[in-house]
Amino acid sequence: EAGVAQSPRYKIIEKRQSVAFWCNPISGHATLYWYQQILGQGPKLLIQFQNNGVVDDSQLPKDRFSAERLKGVDSTLKIQPAKLEDSAVYLCASSYGELAGGVLETQYFGPGTRLLVL
């Protein structure tokens, strides 16, 4: 089974520029997550989708970050305009999203996109 795919793997931009990241989850996974992992810290959940609907975006800086999952499969995370403090690894994860028999389905993570804002 193919894993979670992300692109690009690396991106360097200047502050105030825009950037977009793409994620293709594992086939059949209804739930998709975007995380921001700043160097030396744990991943922070930015947004969680269930199919094409948003379940949780309470930690997404909505003045500059946006995300969409229009067809309930691929997702795009955008930053516009970027700030220096946005330098981080952006992780995408997916899961079936169902509580099967009370057991939470596991999240599978992609390799991440490493963003450097200069």
Which residues contribute to the site for another protein (CB under 8 A)?
4, 31, 33, 35, 40-45, 48, 55-56, 91, 93, 95, 97, 99, 102-112
**Omega before residue 43 within 30° of 0, cis:** no
Smallest distance from the beta carbon of 78 to another protein, in angstroms?
21
Dist. CA 80–CA 78, nearest whole Å: 6
Nearer to another protein, 17 or 107 (CB): 107
Smallest Cα–Cα separation from 76: which of 105, 41, 46, 43?
Answer: 46
Smallest distance from the beta carbon of 69 to another protein, in angstroms?
16
Dist. CA 94–CA 109, nearest whole Å: 7
Nearer to another protein, 18 or 51 (CB): 51
Nearer to another protein, 17 or 52 (CB): 52
